[in-house]
């Protein structure tokens, strides 16, 4: 049964129930030799690990055109319609996220602005282990397409027909049957089969996360994500709805976290009982039960101000805020679902924002994946002779204060009276 805790925001600093256990270095130790092998031996190492860990067998790494066509033809009309709705909504939202170019005079003769250019190549990691996730392909690749990325590479250890069918719907034909740290290393370094990419995005297991962490800098990444999590803030509400939302997150992974923070002991008790009732008929209860009994909890706090403080301290991946009037007090969250009619499931599939989100407190630093992660904003500067003359004294004074005489002379040679 889920834990029910009592206290205030200070719990976060002292209770092991509210803190993630630091990930073991043993995962990174296991990943390093895989990365080194792919770096040195490229396809030879990649194929060996794919056969050993990804059940590749004798199949080629790259999915063939015939396989795409076959997968697409096998999709049900209902799935195609659902994917079409999701694609349209994701693309619409991503388009609005993109920065607009600007170039204009900020003062006489001083024209400034920026241009927006897509990354050259992006690798999207799509999990296909316990649950194959075609939605993750959509939530990454559609953003990259909207940003104008010319090359999009998909890696997935055991891509399902739905994953391949979604790639086909998007016109993506570069999909590889490889996962884990070996896939991340291949996209980071490049091999004979997989050309290197500029940035790698998408969630994965602990080995994928460790590889992304170790290779950040060698290749761009979105962020290092851990097991998924939801936090629900509610002073009241329907226990049936709240329990359903918590279980929707818990069924992802035994290490997933479902959290409720409330000022109502009555609601806490009702939700706890409702979770148990719903688990009895949930097909994925074997996974959800482990999540509920381990890292999940209900916290009963003195008031909703204390609930907000605790939520901001946790910085959850998904925040369900049943009272929209509290939004102005939220500082840290990967994404926010406002009101009781906005389930996290909508964000996972079809509302529009990407479901690739920061976990384990990384939401203190950034929000979820967006179209802006796939572009570069490049500043432009253009000065007229008179504008440079006006700035000349400030530039040369600062340059000489730093001992950079040539910097000062590069201005003065243009400002001869």
Q: Which residues contact residue 265 at a Cβ distance below 8 angstroms, ignoring those fewer than 6 apart?
A: 300
Which residue spans within 249-374 are E strands per DSSP? 257-262, 297-300, 318-321, 335-338
The two tokens of residue 47 are 């194929």
- The alpha carbon torsion through 347, 335, 228, 25 (nearest 10 deg) reads 140
Which among 318, 322, 355, 360 is annotated as catalytic? 318
Contact 228, 359 (CB under 8 A): yes
317 tagged catalytic: yes
Q: What is the rounded distance in angstroms from the CA atom of residue 54 to the CA atom of residue 52?
A: 6
The three-state DSSP-derived secondary structure of 286-301 is HHHHHHHHCCCEEEEC
DSSP letter, residue 59: S
User: Distance between CA 252 and CA 20 in Å, rounded?
Assistant: 17
Nearest Cα neighbor of 123 from 143, 141, 97 is 141
Residue written as tokens 């700035």? 391
Alpha carbon of residue 214 to chain centroid: 17
Q: Catalytic: which of 162, 251, 274, 317?
A: 317
Question: Which two tokens mark 278?
Answer: 């719903």
| Sequence-ordered list of residues with C-beta below 8 angstroms from that of 160, at least 6 positions apart, any chain | 128, 132, 134
| CB 165, CB 107: distance < 8 Å | no
Q: Is 251 a catalytic residue?
A: no
List Cα–Cα distances, 305 to 233, 261, 311, in angstroms: 11, 11, 10
Give the catalytic positions in this structure: 317-318
């Amino acid at each position: 049964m889920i834990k029910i805790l009592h206290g205030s925001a200070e719990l976060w600093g002292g209770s092991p129930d509210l803190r993630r256990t630091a990930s073991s270095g043993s995962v990174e130790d296991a990943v390093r030799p895989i990365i080194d092998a792919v770096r040195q031996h490229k396809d030879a190492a990649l194929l060996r690990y794919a056969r050993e860990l990804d059940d590749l067998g004798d199949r080629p790494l790259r999915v063939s055109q015939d396989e795409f066509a076959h997968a697409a033809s096998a999709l049900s009309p209902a799935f195609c319609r659902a994917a079409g709705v999701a694609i349209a909504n994701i693309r619409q939202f991503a388009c609005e996220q993109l920065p607009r170019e600007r170039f204009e005079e900020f003062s006489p003769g001083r024209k400034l602005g920026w241009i927006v250019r897509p990354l050259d190549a992006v690798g999207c990691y799509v999990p296909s282990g316990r649950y194959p996730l075609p939605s993750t392909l959509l939530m990454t690749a559609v953003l990259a397409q909207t940003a104008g990325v010319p090359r999009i590479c998909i890696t997935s250890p055991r891509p399902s027909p739905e994953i391949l069918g979604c790639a086909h719907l998007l016109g993506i034909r570069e999909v590889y049957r490889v996962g884990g740290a070996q896939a991340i290393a291949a996209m980071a370094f490049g091999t004979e089969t997989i050309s290197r990419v500029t940035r790698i995005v998408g969630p994965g297991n602990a080995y994928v996360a460790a590889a992304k962490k170790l290779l950040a800098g060698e290749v761009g990444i979105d962020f290092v994500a851990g097991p998924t999590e939801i936090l629900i803030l509610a002073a009241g509400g329907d226990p049936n709805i709240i329990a359903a939302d918590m279980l929707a997150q818990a069924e992802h992974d035994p290490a997933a976290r479902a959290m409720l923070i409330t000022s109502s002991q009555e609601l806490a008790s009702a939700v706890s009982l409702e979770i148990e009732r719903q688990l009895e008929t949930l097909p994925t209860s074997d996974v959800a039960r482990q999540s509920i009994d381990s890292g999940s909890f209900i916290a009963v706090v003195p008031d909703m101000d204390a609930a907000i403080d605790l939520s901001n301290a946790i910085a959850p991946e998904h925040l369900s805020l049943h009272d929209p009037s509290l939004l102005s007090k939220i500082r840290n969250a990967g994404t926010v679902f406002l009101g009781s009619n906005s389930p996290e499931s909508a964000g996972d599939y079809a509302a529009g924002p990407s479901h690739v989100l920061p976990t384990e407190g990384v939401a203190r630093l950034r929000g979820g994946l967006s179209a802006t992660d796939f572009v570069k904003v490049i500043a432009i500067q253009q000065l007229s002779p008179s504008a440079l003359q006006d700035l000349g004294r400030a530039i040369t004074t600062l340059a000489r204060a730093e001992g950079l005489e040539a910097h000062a002379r590069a201005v003065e040679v243009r400002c001869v009276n």
